[in-house]
Structure 1
Amino acid sequence: MSAVQPPQAAPLWNHTPESLKAELDAVLASARSKLDAIVSLPPSERTFAALAELEATLSSRGEPLTFYQNVSTDGELRDASEKAENALKEFGIEREMRVDLFEVLKDASTRTGPLSGDSEDARFVEKVLLEGKRAGLELPEEQRKELELLKKELSRLCVTFQKNYGQEKGKIAFSVEELEGVPPPVVSGYAKREDDAKCELTFRPPDIMPLFKYAKNPETRRKAWEAYESRVAVNEEIFDSVLAIRRKIADLLGYDSWADYVTEVKMVKSAQGVHDFISDVESKLLPVGKRDREQLLALKEEEEGADSTEFYMWDWFYYDRLYVERTLDLDDALVKEYFPVEVVVPTIMKVYETMLGVEFVPLSNDVDKGDVWHPDVQRFALWDSRGDGFLGYAYLDLYPREAKFPHAAVWSLVPGFTRSDGSRSYPVCAMVANLAKSTPDRPALMTHASVVTFFHEMGHVFHNILSKTKYSRFDGTSVANDFVEAPSKMLENWCWVPSVLEKMSSHYKTKEPLPSELIEKIVKSRYVNVGMSMLRQLFLAKYDITVHTAKEPENYTKLWNRIREDTSLVKGPAIDAPGQAAFAHLMGGYEAGYYGYTYSSVFAADMFRTVFAKDPLSPQAGRLYREEILRPGGSRDEMDSLKAFLGRPPNAEAFLEQLLGAPQ
């Protein structure tokens, strides 16, 4: 395929702050002009086609402009990108608050007549009209104006919160003695301060996680954790303000809470449904979590030589790792030696190629020509290896740098959709990660957890690339928020399959794959301390749904620490550190939706066991997955996609068996 020219050119990444603003101004001017044209159409010509075209154009031209803030090394360009996101969100609010447009669309719906209930056209009309009602367009004018102002302020605050989180530059320093236990290759990679020769760490995962997992001195871990939890304290007041505005908006729209407003359009349907789900899972996990805690406390007492009755957040990573090493004789640092980035990444891509029938074709990356936004970035054209032609473009931006988004995520940059002339717009997406870079002593290596994360995020890439919908609003991961993680969480299972582990491992010195006895230990480690691990997820979900159903404001920092201790069975610092100020999910579209990670895990477990467990690399199973889960995107009800894939309605049996270790 490498000699075949893709039918669509890749985006150019050569914006300056000035050209980005000019492009933004042109996009918004064109969009406003098209909206005015839509509402001025005579009744006989009113359809939904013009709105669909406008949505697609806004996404295709606007999303790349907002992406720079996550990856650019140019501070002025990041600022311009952030302003672009604010402007586009404000325009989105302006658009959704146009009563004249809503009336035109209602009229178009009446004139169109009944559509097939399961068609993508019918779903588009249904969603557009529901959005109008949820936007408050049936409210009196005075309340609509108040609502619009509140939404714009909410948008601005969320963007600022995310900027503070993504561009956090905090550091903490320790002496080599204080870092006792941290693997020497990691310590050698830390920056050294000139004045006192202390090692200086950022709060990015490659720096801070080895400290949490290996530093023997509990005081070192405590200091690091308190600083880590407080690293974005500047967001504490913003968090309070955002929740206050969300309560006002929910009240104006007639919802009991912001959570009820959000969940109305999700699979779970209501805030009470979220509470019930969390309560049910917590009741089943609590005995397992308490057992895990007792085991770890015993190990802590043995290690620290004291009567250990408390288990702290800064104990978790250290003793979880130590417990695995002691009980399974599994050394995480040794496992890491078998996962060099240069081997793992292309092998995982090859696994996806085999299973899903695709081909990655690497492209040249000249930064000066605008091929990519940074020299580290890899760019690929994706083709269907079964003859279905070009699929889209994918970018991998894998290594940390200052001011870059600090974790792992996938951005849809250009949606896939069908143009009005019947031709295709092909999707473009980017995975951003922060894998450890090479050190003077060894090449870049990945922990097994990083391998799992990479496999997961590649799942989102393929959800975007292999979706094929008529409308851009249904493309790829544009599904119900509590289903969006299910496909990728299902794909994490591949990282625990012995044959796949062997295939993607190669010791950085000997080039030998993981030996079978080490693979067996890795597989056994999957559900070690799973009770406490899952209770941590439920703490985050419970905090999220609690703050978004509360009727009155409270001290959200104290609430964060109280719910964590009550739910996840670990104590936090003596000071109430504002960990919620770094809970970026709640400002990035997951508010009242964090439960979705656990909720979607139920579907993920069922999907894997039912279709893939017998042969995870089966092309036939991969084809079914492409057709029934990825291809529809959000163009049909998620439950219908699950039923088509499973051959029946989903259930929680596989999920509970995984967590509790025995049939329920």
Structure 2
Amino acid sequence: MIANNPLLENFDYAPFSKIKNEHYKPAIKQAIQLANQEIDAITTLNEKPTFQNTIEALEYSGEKLGRITGIFFNINAAETNEEIQQIAQEISPWLSKFKNDLLLNETLFTRVKTVFQEKENLDLTPEQQMLLEKHYKSFSRNGANLSDTDKEKLREIDTELAQLSLSFGEHVLAETNAYELLIENEADLEGLPEDEKETAAKLAKANGRDGFLFTLQYPSYLPFMKYVKNRTLRKKMALAFGKKAFQDNVFNNEEIVLKIAKLRYQRAQLLGYKTHAHFVLEERMAKNPEKVNNFLAELREKAQTKAKAQFNELETFAKNLDNIDRLEKWDSAYYAEKLKQQRFDLDDEKLKPYFKLKNVIKGVFDISEKLYQLKFQEVDNIDKYHEEVKTYQVTNTQGDKVALLYADFHPRAGKRGGAWMTVYKDQQQKNNHNERPHISIVCNFTRATENKPSLLTFNEVTTLFHEFGHALHGMLANTTYPSLSGTSVYWDFVELPSQLLENWCYEEEALALFAKHYQTNELIPQNLIEKIKKAANFLEGMQTLRQLSFGMLDMAWHATNPSDIDNVKKHENQAFEATKLFPDVSENCMSTAFSHIFQGGYSSGYYSYKWAEVLDADAFAYFKENGIFNLEIATKFKNYILSQGGTQDPMLLYKRFRGKEPNPNALLKRAGLLD
């Protein structure tokens, strides 16, 4: 055992600077032993099972293990390396075994079941009732009633799934980092804004090369696809992006995708469910795959006509502009941007000067203060895992501590792509003390150049607001139990706070708080605001169809029996057939890099983005009717949604906030899909 392991000491803030890679394995091993001792204390108790000595005791067990693994896996996502990835592969079976030992512990389940069967006679609060049900279901839905033989099968499946998921993510990251496109002739970059050229030149120089260097990281890839006129080069980049983990090398994920899908199906069957989607959706607002498929089909029906018309319009535009006979996937962003510029006289290069990252951060803070009375103070005495990370103490207007916020904004080789919110410490009430949460948002935004600060595209602005909406859900949590706190809600409800906050990016009253020119401090002109609003629904039919196709692909993998699937690409093409607009690209495959469903927690849940859009459109309509900074409505949203976590059924919470169930027409109207 390593002496003075910082992970095993009592700490409030994660002690990042003291942690070395060799600390993780012994700390996790010891934390598992401690958690097992806490479970043993429950199962060997000679007292009758009660809510307090069994359910609450179980809820608060394993806290040390949760904090240590929370730190480790967040580092594995935001600042990983080969050694960290190797440790992840080694500890994954330990954690799978611990989880299975817990959920398949017959003595523990008997005590939980005893309390559950007496629930009608117990004087429990709604939150306690939810906690009891959640713990009972965690056993009953995960093998507690299986035979010993089947329990062993379940253990084997869970261990293999955990390792496959890790390998999937490592392969995607490796493929993302491996590809570089060096452009030596500046004329080949015709159309690319000077800022983007400067960034690419800086990257090339940092790598000891002459010219302009581009990667598959989003801040490099997206501007390239949107602005570079050279179609051959766009195709080259698009093919590289679409080939991630779909090439004949050690990082190919095809076999992993097939194994994950089949193992999830076998697991569901073992537990008595028809498919993995049936298992997952039982604990979602949607309840079953049929409802999800109907939801996706109804939206597709409403979007398809508009989507096809918009695609034809875009193809005609490309034909007229550059004599393009057939619109390909690598043409989409380029000609969409050209058409948007023509129609609205609007492009990111006109908007970016008004969205300096520092100002946008202050803007989302100011909006949060207006809505929820929060104050954000940057501090430099909190340990960080990387020097670029910013830390903020969050308080309310009375000065009470609300949360600690970490923010990590720019891409690095050790950081996976995309953007996400995560938790380093859960909010909970324990020993008569309300322990406040430590929340983190991680993004991959455009960096500053030698001549300019970090200026965000409008899409990056909405991404920051999206992740901050999740962060508010975590920061404003006010529940008793950690497993019901913050974003611990049904998966198709979790996107409501994040997607709702994006709406403020389109409102003049909100933009006035932060959209100021980085050089002159001039407020964004009214005519640009109007253009942003008008462009909000630009090609929305195509965008909706694209999003629906991802949800349908997810269900194609998880709502059917995948046993006979032997070709990932063929299966994917069949799933995409109903939403197809562009010609297929044989060299590309989405499934092999679809981290949301094969590495993240969105398997059988990708539809939830659209599901939550129905909720957020309806909720924002409520704000719009009464003022986007209406304190009464914001307070209701905080009290009934943000602070409540998973303590009650989400539709019940939503109806308390809104006074009624959501109206789907609010989404269709906002998206311009209602005639």
TM-score by length of 2: 0.92
Equivalent position of 1:340 in the other structure:
356
Is the CA contact 1:67–1:81 (under 8 Å) kept in the aligned structure 2?
Answer: no
User: 2:38–2:62: 8 Å Cα contact kept in structure 1?
Assistant: no
Residue identity opposite 2:338 in structure 1 = L
Q: Aligned partners of 1:54, 1:480: CA distance in 2, in Å?
A: 22
Q: Is there any run of 5+ residues in structure 2 with no aligned partner, and where?
A: 1-10, 247-251
Question: In structure 2, what is the equivalent of residue 393 of structure 1?
Answer: 404
The answer to whether residue 284 in structure 2 is matched with residue 266 in structure 1 is yes
1:170 aligns to what?
178
1:493 is aligned to 2:503:
yes
After superposition, the Cα gap between the structure-2 partners of 1:72 and 1:334, relative to the gap in structure 1 and judged at 3 Å, is: same
Give the aligned residue type for 1:139.
L
Structure 2 residue 664 is the aligned partner of structure 1 residue 635: no
Superposed, 1:133-212 pairs within 5 Å as 133-167=140-174, 168-175=176-183, 176-190=186-200, 191-192=203-204, 197-212=210-225
The 5 A counterparts of 1:168-317 are 168-175=176-183, 176-190=186-200, 191-192=203-204, 197-233=210-246, 234-306=252-324, 308=325, 310-317=326-333
Deviations 1:222-277 (A, max 9, x none): 11111001123322221111011011111111211111111011000001111100
Change (3 A) 1:172 1:72: closer
1:289–1:530 Cα contact (<8 Å) kept: yes
1:448 to 455, 458, 478: 458
Moved over 6 A (4+): 193-196
What is the CA–CA distance in structure 2 between the aligned matches of 1:99 and 1:293, rounded to whole Å?
58
Deviation at 1:433, TM superposition (A): 0.6
Residue 23 of structure 2 corresponds to 19
Q: Is the CA contact (8 Å cut-off) linking 1:557 and 1:576 kept in structure 2?
A: no
Is the alpha carbon distance of 1:251 and 1:393 closer, same or farther for their aligned partners in structure 2, counting shifts above 3 Å?
Answer: same
Contact 2:366 2:513 in 1 (8 A): no
Give the partner amino acid of 2:178. Answer: G
Query: Which of residues 4, 10, 13 is equivalent to 1:10?
Result: 13
Which of 409, 413, 433 is residue 402 of structure 1 equivalent to? 413
Offset at residue 199 of structure 1 (A): 2.7
What's the CA shift string for 1:147-175, capped at 9, x where partnerless?
Answer: 11111111111122123334541223143
Instruction: Please tell me whether the aligned partners of residues 463 and 476 of structure 1 are also in contact (alpha carbons under 8 angstroms).
Output: yes
Q: Name the stretch that deviates more: 476-485 or 296-305.
A: 296-305
Structure-1 separation of matches of 2:72 and 2:155 = 24
Instruction: Indicate how the Cα distance of structure 1 residues 165 and 120 shifts in structure 2: closer, same or farther if over 3 A, else same.
Output: same
Residue in structure 2 matched with residue 352 of structure 1 by the alignment: 368
Residue 44 (structure 1) aligns with: 48
Aligned to 1:3: none
My pick for the range that moved more, 190-199 or 487-496, is: 190-199
What code does the residue aligned with 2:423 have?
Answer: S
SS in 1 for 2:515: coil
What corresponds to 1:589 in structure 2?
601
SS in 1 for 2:439: strand
Count matched residues: 647
Q: Distance in 2 between matches of 1:511 and 1:85?
A: 50
Residue in 1 that maps onto 2:590: 579
Residue aligning to 2:4: none
Partner of 1:4: none
Does the CA contact (< 8 Å) of 2:28 and 2:65 recur in 1?
no
Q: Conserved in 2, the CA contact under 8 Å of 1:466 and 1:630?
A: yes
What displacement does 1:480 show?
0.4
Shift of 1:17: 1.1
Q: Which moved more, 1:240-249 or 1:343-352?
A: 343-352
Aligned to 2:249: none
1:638-657 correspondence runs (5 A): 638-657=650-669
Q: Which amino acid aligns with 2:177?
A: K
Q: 1:118–1:312: structure 2 CA closer, same or farther, 3 Å change rule?
A: farther
Q: State the shift of 1:386 in Å.
A: 4.4
Post-superposition Cα deviations, 1:319-340, rounded to whole Å, max 9, x if no partner, equal 2211110101112211112111
Residues in 1 aligned to 2:336 and 2:557: alpha-carbon distance in whole angstroms:
30
Residue by residue over 1:193-243, the C-alpha shift from the partner in whole angstroms, topping out at 9 and shown as x without a partner, is: 899845321111111000110111222111111100112332222111101
Unaligned runs of 5+ in 1: 1-7
Amino acid in structure 1 at the alignment position of 2:30: A
What's the % identity of the aligned pairs? 27
| Structure-2 separation of matches of 1:115 and 1:200 | 65
Report the Cα distance in structure 1 between the residues aligned to 2:571 and 2:117, rounded to whole angstroms.
Answer: 49
Q: Does structure 2 retain, via aligned residues, the 8 Å contact 1:539–1:567?
A: yes
Moved more, 114-123 or 215-224: 114-123
Q: Secondary structure at the match of 2:394?
A: strand
Q: 1:318 to 1:562 in 2, by over 3 A?
A: farther
User: What CA distance in whole angstroms lies between the structure 2 residues aligned with 1:376 and 1:348?
Assistant: 19
**What letter is aligned with 1:278?**
L
Bigger shift: residues 510-519 or 550-559:
550-559
Once residues 474 and 188 of structure 2 are traced to their aligned partners in structure 1, the CA distance between those partners, rounded to angstroms, is: 45
How far did residue 515 of structure 1 move?
A: 0.6
* Aligned counterpart in structure 2 of residue 364 of structure 1, from 380, 386, 389: 380
Q: 2:489 aligns with which of 464, 472, 479?
A: 479
Q: Partners in 2 of 1:18 and 1:240 — Cα distance?
A: 34
Superposed counterparts of 1:364-383, under 5 Å: 364-365=380-381, 371-383=383-395
Counterpart position of 1:5: none
Change (3 A) 1:557 1:181: same
Change (3 A) 1:492 1:86: farther
Calculate the aligned-residue CA RMSD, in Å.
Answer: 2.1
Taking structure 1 as the reference length, the TM-score comes to 0.93
2:434 is the counterpart of 1:424: yes
Matched AA of 1:169? N
Q: Which moved more, 1:103-112 or 1:16-25?
A: 103-112
Displacement of 1:19: 1.8
Deviates most, 227-236 or 76-85: 76-85
**1:544 matches 2:544:** no
Contact (CA 8 Å) 2:97, 2:155: kept in 1 or not?
Answer: no
Q: Partner amino acid for 1:18? A: E
How far the C-alpha of 1:642 sits from its partner, in A, is 0.4
Q: Which moved more, 1:613-622 or 1:464-473?
A: 613-622
Question: For 1:206 and 1:123, how far apart are their aligned partners in 2?
Answer: 42
> What is the match of residue 39 of structure 2?
35
Shift of 1:60: 3.2
Structure 2 counterpart of 1:529, which letter?
Answer: L
1:658 maps to a residue whose letter is: R
**1:79 Cα deviation after fit:** 4.0
Asked whether 1:503 is paired with 2:513, we answer yes
